[in-house]
């Protein structure tokens, strides 16, 4: 049987039950509403349909006064009611009130488990009936429950929202930490590996997703990793580049430069590289900056490491070169050669390169010689000694090619090359060095003005220098030139030099004057003095030959003496032979 077909109660009872049913449904609606003000409004405005009274207003600590009639528009009336509520309610209960102009008034408390949430202020011609009071009590109780539920739900939602926000923040932190770990692990792996700058660029692109450029301090591209490499690679004007470097040094963090994020790696004052993420949008995840800064640290470490290795290798090469030239420390030479992975067993020859750049920059000159020697596969043992650059050459190229490639590097400077004889074993290197020095000395002092001269091409000078005992040669030289040498020593004249050049020039006056940069009359005067002092007849063929041989012997002995002085000199100190640092490759 359906409820509608059940015997129906009497009219009053039915009306009471219908109203109670309405209150319960209203309660469901209030609970469904979820808005405290709407709940209060719904309950308050339902009063006239449940009881013969009117609503004067609602009052709650949370929402103050609302739905008030004109009577309660007065602040004094409201204040009076609040005082009465405090008095009659004690802890917040309800009861009858005294309200000016109203025969009857009462406060219906809106309760929850936590206490009284507010009151409905009612008025009428007389007290409401018990049935009406019951309905109003049910209404306010359901209102209180709905308010309490709404408050709980609001607090729950706030807690959930807070928890969700905390979880989201935590998730972001975890995500950031995980990504930081990836950045850290990736770059640390590169730092610990033997991968060079290419490895750093590749790792940084992997963790950021942006193309990476590593440039030198002037803006020249050293390494690029990623798509979109510009060609030709753009280079800022020097003034702009310097401004950027100053800004980077001042800010010590990534700086935006057009569509790039840029940092500078400067492990030492004279070593510098610029690291750039390219094609970067205006707004990026801050992990990108973290990765860039980490990458900069790794790059600085790598540069310092490469620099240290280069310096050690240079020092070892220089020491090896010194020992091979001096021929003194066989064990040391072998151990250093092994450390460098250098094959000492190849044939060598010593090559001296004398010259300078336009600005007389010794370091630049050494770097140029080293770079060109490497390019031509001449050798990698290059050092400075005795004011010249020494190459321990393991190949025999066309030495004119070495000089031809060097000259543009010198920017208008000069360059001469002296090549010692070949040595099949590295123990013979000192001999080759002595020969190269002899060539150098002859280049300086004789008509051997050719800028590239090899010991093997010296001719009679080579025979003279190969004599085992120089005493007989010196006696012969003294017998022919003794008086002239003494005169030159006494008067600081150049009679022997003049005679040597005159004979080298085949007795031609014009050629000799040009070679000596003197006038014809001066030459004639000097030749007459030579005849007078020596008593030799320069027109006699035998005398002329002996004099020519004697002047060659004089030049050879002088050159050998100079070479021996260098070979036997104390090894160069750091001031002379300190290797300038090579730029990292």
Q: Give the binding site for other proteins (CB under 8 A).
A: 3-4, 6, 9, 11, 14-15, 17-23, 25-26, 28-29, 32-33, 38, 41-50
- Give the C-alpha distances (Å, rounded to integers) separating 267 from 9, 29, 300, 306: 98, 73, 5, 11
In whole angstroms, how close is the CB of 164 to other proteins at the nearest point? 24
Residue with Cβ nearer other proteins (44 or 429): 44
Name the minimum Å distance from CB 200 to other proteins.
56
Q: What is the DSSP letter of 151?
A: H
Tell me the closest approach of the beta carbon of residue 94 to other proteins, in angstroms. Answer: 19
Q: How far is the CB of 40 from other proteins (least distance, A)?
A: 10
- CB of residue 265 vs other proteins: minimum separation in angstroms? 59
Cβ atoms 156, 41 nearer than 8 A: no
Question: How far is it, in rounded angstroms, from Cα 483 to Cα 547?
Answer: 13
Tell me the chain's radius of gyration from C-alpha atoms. Answer: 53
Cβ closer to other proteins: 33 or 445? Answer: 33
d(CA 223, CA 205): 12
Q: In angstroms, give the least distance from the CB of 120 to other proteins.
A: 11
We find the least distance from the C-beta atom of residue 8 to other proteins, in angstroms, to be 8
Q: Which residue has the tokens 């280049």?
A: 443
Q: Where are the beta strands (DSSP E) in 171-290?
A: 211-216, 221-225, 255-257, 260-268, 271-278
Phi, psi of 228 (to 5 degrees): 75, 30
Identify which of residues 38 and 180 has a Cβ nearer to other proteins in the complex: 38
Q: What is the signed CA dihedral for 318, 322, 324, 329, rounded to 10 degrees?
A: -110
> For 364, how many CA atoms within 13 A lie in the half-sphere containing its CB?
12
CA end-to-end span of the chain: 100
Q: How far is the CB of 57 from other proteins (least distance, A)?
A: 14
Q: Which is nearer to other proteins, 16 or 388 (CB)?
A: 16
- Our CB check for other proteins shows the closer of 67 and 323 to be 67
Helix (H, G, I), strand (E, B) or coil at 59: strand
**Closer to other proteins by Cβ: residue 21 or 346:** 21
Contacts of 373 (CB under 8 A, 6+ apart): 379, 380, 382, 391, 393, 402
CB-nearer residue toward other proteins: 1 or 570: 1
Nearer to other proteins, 27 or 551 (CB): 27
Structure tokens at 539: 């027109």
Separation of alpha carbons 230 and 168, rounded Å: 41
């Amino acid at each position: 049987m359906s409820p509608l077909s059940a015997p129906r109660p009497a009219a009053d009872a039915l009306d009471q039950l219908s109203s109670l049913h309405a209150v319960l449904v209203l309660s469901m609606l209030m609970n469904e509403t979820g808005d405290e003000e709407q709940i209060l409004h719904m309950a308050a405005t339902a009063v006239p349909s449940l009881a013969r009274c009117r609503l004067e207003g609602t009052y709650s600590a949370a929402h103050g006064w609302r739905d008030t009639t004109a009577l309660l528009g007065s602040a004094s009336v409201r204040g009076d009611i609040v005082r009465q509520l405090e008095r009659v309610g004690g802890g917040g209960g309800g009861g009858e009130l005294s309200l000016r102009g109203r025969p009857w008034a009462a406060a219906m408390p809106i309760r929850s488990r936590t206490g009284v949430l507010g009151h409905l202020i009612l008025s009428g011609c007389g007290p409401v009936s018990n049935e009406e009071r019951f309905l109003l009590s049910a209404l306010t109780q359901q209102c209180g429950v709905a308010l309490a539920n709404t408050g709980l739900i609001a607090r729950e939602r706030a807690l959930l929202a807070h928890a969700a926000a905390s979880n989201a923040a935590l998730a972001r932190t975890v995500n950031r930490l995980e990504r930081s770990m990836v950045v850290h692990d990736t770059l640390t792996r590169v730092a610990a590996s033997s991968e060079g700058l290419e490895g750093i660029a590749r790792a940084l692109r992997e963790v950021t997703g942006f193309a990476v450029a590593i440039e030198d301090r002037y803006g020249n591209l050293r390494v690029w990793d990623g798509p979109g490499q510009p060609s030709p690679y753009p280079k800022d004007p020097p003034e702009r580049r310097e401004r950027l470097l100053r800004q980077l040094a001042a800010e010590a963090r990534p700086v935006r430069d057009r569509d790039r994020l840029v940092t500078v790696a400067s492990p030492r004052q004279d070593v510098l590289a610029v690291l750039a993420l390219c094609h970067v949008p205006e707004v990026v995840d801050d992990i990108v900056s973290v990765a860039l800064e980490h990458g900069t640290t790794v790059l600085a470490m790598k540069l310092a490491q490469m620099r240290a290795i280069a310096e050690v290798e240079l020092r070892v090469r220089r020491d090896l070169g010194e020992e091979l030239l001096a021929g003194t420390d066989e064990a040391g030479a072998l151990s250093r050669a092994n450390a460098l992975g250098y094959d000492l067993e190849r044939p060598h020859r010593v090559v001296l390169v004398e010259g300078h750049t336009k600005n007389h920059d010794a370091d630049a000159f050494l770097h140029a010689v080293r770079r060109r020697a490497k390019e031509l596969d001449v050798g990698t043992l290059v050092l400075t000694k005795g004011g010249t650059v020494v190459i321990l050459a393991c190949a025999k190229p066309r030495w004119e090619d070495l000089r031809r490639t060097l000259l543009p590097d010198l920017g208008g400077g000069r360059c001469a090359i002296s090549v010692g004889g070949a040595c099949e074993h590295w123990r013979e290197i000192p001999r080759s060095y002595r020969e190269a020095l002899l060539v150098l000395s002859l280049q300086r002092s004789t008509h051997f003005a050719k800028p590239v001269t090899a010991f093997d091409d010296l001719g009679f000078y080579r025979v003279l220098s190969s004599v085992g005992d120089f005493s007989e040669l010196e006696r012969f030289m003294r017998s022919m030139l003794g008086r002239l040498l003494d005169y030159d020593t006494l008067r600081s004249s150049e009679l022997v030099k003049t005679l040597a050049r005159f004979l080298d020039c085949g007795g031609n006056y014009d050629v000799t004057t040009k070679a000596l940069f003197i006038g014809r009359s001066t030459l004639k005067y000097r030749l007459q003095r030579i005849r007078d002092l020596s008593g030799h007849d320069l027109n006699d063929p035998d005398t002329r030959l002996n004099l020519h041989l004697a002047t060659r012997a004089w030049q050879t002995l002088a050159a050998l003496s100079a070479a021996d002085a260098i070979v036997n000199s104390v090894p160069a100190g750091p001031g002379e032979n300190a290797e300038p640092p090579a730029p990292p490759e």
